[in-house]
Amino acid sequence: MHYVVLLAPDARIVDTSEKNHIALDLVVSARTVDGQQVAPLVQKKIDLHATPQLEEEIRQKGLALKGVVEVSPGEYNVRMVVRDSLSGRVGSVSAPLRVE
C-alpha cells in the first residue's frame, strides 16, 4: 500500500528562527480489524534545515510525506501519526483499508 500524508500549507512546521529547521516524526501502522499488527511499524524521522525555496514551497503548497507499507489482501485499519518535534504538536488519522 502506497501512502501520502499531506501536511497543510502554512502548517507552521518550519522554525525560521533556527535556520528553517524542520523536525518531524511519522508513524504508520496497519492492523487487522481485530487489532493484530500485520506489517512492520513504519517510523520515519525528518530533521533538516530547509532551503529558502523549500520553506516557501511548504508555506504555499504544504509538505507531502510518502511511503509504502506491505500488506497482503484483506481488510485493515491504518493509522498515521505525525509529531512536530520542535513544537510538540501531534496530528493523526485513521482509516479502513481493503486490499484486493
Q: Please state the length of the chain.
A: 100
Residue 32 corresponds to which amino acid? T
Would you state the pLDDT for residue 10?
A: 77
Q: Is pLDDT of 53 > 90?
A: yes
Q: Please report which confidence band the pLDDT of residue 91 belongs to, taking 50, 70 and 90 as the band edges.
A: very high
Could you tell me the end-to-end alpha-carbon distance of the chain, in angstroms, rounded to an integer?
11
CB 48 within 8 A of CB 55: no
Kindly report the pTM of this predicted structure: 0.87
What domains does the chain contain, in order, with CATH numbers? 2-99 (2.60.40)
Radius of gyration of the chain measured on its C-alpha atoms: 15
Q: Is pLDDT of 11 > 90?
A: no
